Each structure stands twice: as C-alpha cells, then as structure tokens.
Amino acid sequence: MAPVAEKTDERRSATVSNLKAKLLEKIQAHRPRITKLVKEQGKIVIDNVTIDQCIGGARDVRCLVTDISYLDPLEGIRFRGKTIPETFAALPKVPGSEYPYVEAHWFFLMTGDVPTKEEALAIAEDFKSRAQVPQYVFDVLRAMPRDTHPMTMFSAAIVSMQRESLFAKRYSEGMKKTEYWDPMYEDCTNLMAKLPEIAAYIYRMKFKGDTPIASNPKLDLGGNFAHMMGFPKPYDDVARMYFILHSDHESGNVSAHATHLVASTLSDAYFALSAGINGLAGPLHGLANQEVLSWIQDVFKQLGGKLPTEEELKKFLWDTLNSGKVIPGYGHAVLRKTDPRYVSQMEFCQKNLPDYPMFKLVNMIYKVAPDILREHGKAKNPWPNVDAQSGVIQWYYGLTEYDFYTVLFGVGRALGVLANITWDRALGYALERPKSVTTDMLEKWAAEGGRKLA
C-alpha cells in the first residue's frame, strides 16, 4: 500500500481521473530499478566522449534517461515502445474522427498504458476543470507590442503563470523529496490544460483582428483548439495529429533538454516549459517549420507562382546552399532516414490534399534534395524531418501565418516534456551539471593520445 505521504493531495484529479493513481503505482514500481542501477551498477561504463563530441554539441553521448520515448536513428520515434502508426491505432479515437484523443496520448505518455475510452474521457474532463486561463495572462499578452513573435508571447504567457505553481508553494512550505512528483504533476496538468487556449488567443489576437473565440467545453482538446482557432473540420483532426506527432522525441532534443535542465534545479514546470519553448524557437529546431514555408513561398515567388521544373528546383536548392543557408526541414542530429513524422503527414496529404500545388512541390523537393545534400557533402542525414511537411498542411487549411507554426509545435511538445519532468521528480533525477574543460586541456589530451582515466 502507498505510504500516507505519497497519497495524492489534489483529491479533485484523483476522483475525476484514475491517471494519478496509476502514475503513483508506476512510480513506486520504477523507483527500485533506479536505486539498484545507481547503488549496485552505477560504475559500469556505457559510453565514452571524444573531442569532436565535446566541441560538437555532445552528439550521440548517452547521458540522459527517459522511458517516455526513444529515437532510433533508422526507425524513428517510438512513444512508450510504439511506433507512430501503432500509437495512432492503439489510442481511443474521438467519435467521428480518424485521430485519437490528445488526452489519451497524455495518459499514454505519463503511464505507458493505453487508456480505455472512459479513461481518455476522464482526462478530458480533468483538463476542462483546469482549463481556465487567468485574466492576467491575457493582459500580459495584450501589453506586448503586437508585432512580437508568437513564440515570445507563448513563452511569456507560460512564465507569467509561475505564481500559480503548486510545486513552488509546496517546496517553500517544505515537502519530502518523494512527494515532489505530486505538485509537479499538478502543475504540468494545469499547464497542459491551458496551453491550447493561450495559443489560440495569441493567434486570434495577433492575426485575426483581435477576435478571440471562447472555448467550447463540450469539445475534446483537439476539437476545442480547432474551434478556438476558428477553423472548421477537419482541422480538429489536423490538430490532434499534429500535437501527437510533435509530442516527444526522446530527451536530447533542445526543447526537451532545456525543459529537463531547468526543472533539474527544482524550478517549477512554468519556468521549465518556458525555457523549453525558448529553445524550440530556434531555426535549427522548431522554427524550421516556419522557415520551410517561407522558403517554399520564395520558390513560388521566384517562378511566378507556378511549380518549378526539376532543373529549376535543383538550381534553387543549390542557390540556397551556396548562399551559406541550410535547406530547412532536411537533416537531423540523430535520424539517418526519412522522419516517420514526415511520412505520417505525407500520408495525410496524399489522402486529403493530393493535388495541392504546395504538397506537389514538397514531394518534388523530397525527390531532389537528398541527392543534392549528399553531393554537397556536409549533412550527415540528407532526409527530411518533421518540419519539411507540416507547414503545408497548415497552409492548406487556412493557417497561412507561418510565424505561428512553432507555437503549434510547442503545444504538442508540451505533452512530452511535461510528462518527462513529472517523472524526473518522481525518480529523483539529479541537478544536471556536466563538466567543462578548457581548449588547453583538449590540446594536451590530444597530444597524449587521450585523457588518462584514473
């Protein structure tokens, strides 16, 4: 039986949904595995670090743990052991929709168990009871210059709610380490429930003449998001697909890592997620999806609005590379094949918008870009990533303000990183603090053929 101190203190969520009780069971079963690994097997070597990894962004160094997703370079992402098609097939679907409840994916990422439809609906109810965004968040957003980037607004809105943190409150009152996960879970769930409305508010305020649409509590998260954005069906399914696809990509990507790093100081979820969103806002990470769209628009502009020939496209790609820019949406730090998230969206396009010129152009790029990148000889992975395809779908359904695309990525990414930091606190993961060295040291160790390990 759970010790009294571990009983969940937010009765509301325990009564509405069984997720928290399940999570506690899972946490209690998992803790002894971590204790054993650290105490009995802690000195077993699992990796070593070379000078180019030290200078080159720690690529491929195994020094983070997560059980929520794993990224195989050749296969792509698995959420809790399931591929993308397996995940979509397993999770309960919203009636009349081809895609699952986002709320079901939250349950799945948190616990590793596929929820029943009733469990998914209970999460949807729980989210609704937490969804009201404080008025001061809207006031903060309205006080910002209207030309502020939507990612800046999104990050500011998140951090502005830090005063709501139950984790910070409970920590200042003095709580046991074994209890940390509980208010962290509460903060993460409260945040996740509010993010869709915050994102939609930013969109409508900034791009739709300041005409926010009130939430419809009868709808699931994806359906309500589409409603608040002002887009008719099937945008609800686009939202569900998009949020699930972008949810998690193991722990080393910048948004997940930044969230984890900040949370490792026992900063609360509001500080941590805002940091992760700031990382996502970089063009080498989540902002690439807006870059892809502006780049594709340039292709059309330069060619007078028509589809290019293969030769014209090849020249455009080479011009991009020769001007010192990257081909946005191509390459990856881990993947060494076409991103299955790209494939999943490609299949959606083939079914729903097969003749759309922009989709045709994306396919043409897919045909020529890998060979060009190989010939260029720099990128280790010449294949497309998630961002190469996602903007086209948004554009087709009327979301043409591509500055907003990374906010969509951010709402989806929150599912994974918030589940991760809940588990970080449950398993007592340490303050993250890798060791740095100087260039002199690297040169000395290089001359000696390697650093002498004790």
Q: Respond yes or no: is residue 237 known to be catalytic.
A: no
Task: Give Cα 329 to chain centroid, integer Å.
Answer: 16
- Which residues, listed in sequence order, are joined to residue 93 by a DSSP beta bridge? 100
168 binds ligand MLT (CB under 6 A): no
CB 369 within 8 A of CB 377: no
Q: Which does 329 bind (CB under 5 to 8 A by kind): ligand MLT, ligand NMX, none?
A: ligand NMX
Contact positions vs ligand NMX (CB under 6 A): 59, 284-286, 288, 321, 326-333, 378-381, 385-387
Q: Which does 327 bind (CB under 5 to 8 A by kind): ligand NMX, ligand MLT, none?
A: ligand NMX
**170 vs 249 by CB, closer to ligand MLT:** 249
The residue behind tokens 């030309």 is 147
> Considering beta carbons, is residue 321 or 414 the nearer one to ligand NMX?
321
Instruction: State how far the alpha carbon of 339 is from the alpha carbons of 16, 305, 362, 408, in Å.
Output: 37, 29, 14, 18
Is the bond preceding residue 340 a cis peptide, omega within 30 degrees? no
Q: Which residues in 343-402 contact ligand MLT (CB under 6 A)?
A: 385-386
Q: Work out how close the CB of 88 gets to ligand NMX at its nearest, in angstroms, rounded to a whole number.
A: 20
Using CB under 6 A as the binding rule, whether residue 249 contacts ligand MLT is answered as yes
Residue with smaller CB distance to ligand NMX, 194 or 413: 413
9 is catalytic: no
Q: Which of 387, 403, 424, 440 is catalytic?
A: 387
CA distances from 437 to 47, 49, 445 (A): 18, 12, 11
Of the candidates 199, 228, 229, 242, which has an alpha carbon nearest to the alpha carbon of residue 100?
242
Q: Which does 194 bind (CB under 5 to 8 A by kind): ligand MLT, ligand NMX, none?
A: none
Residue 260: active-site member: no
Residue 189 touches ligand MLT, criterion: CB under 6 A: no
- The CB-of-334 to ligand NMX minimum distance in angstroms stands at 8
Residue closest to 110 by CA, chosen among 419, 440, 439: 419
- Cα-based distances in Å from 158 to 114, 152, 193: 29, 10, 12
Cα diameter, the chain: 70
Choosing from 105, 227, 246, 332, the catalytic residue is 332
Catalytic residue IDs: 285, 332, 387
* Interface contacts to ligand MLT, rule CB under 6 A: 249, 253, 285, 333-334, 385-386
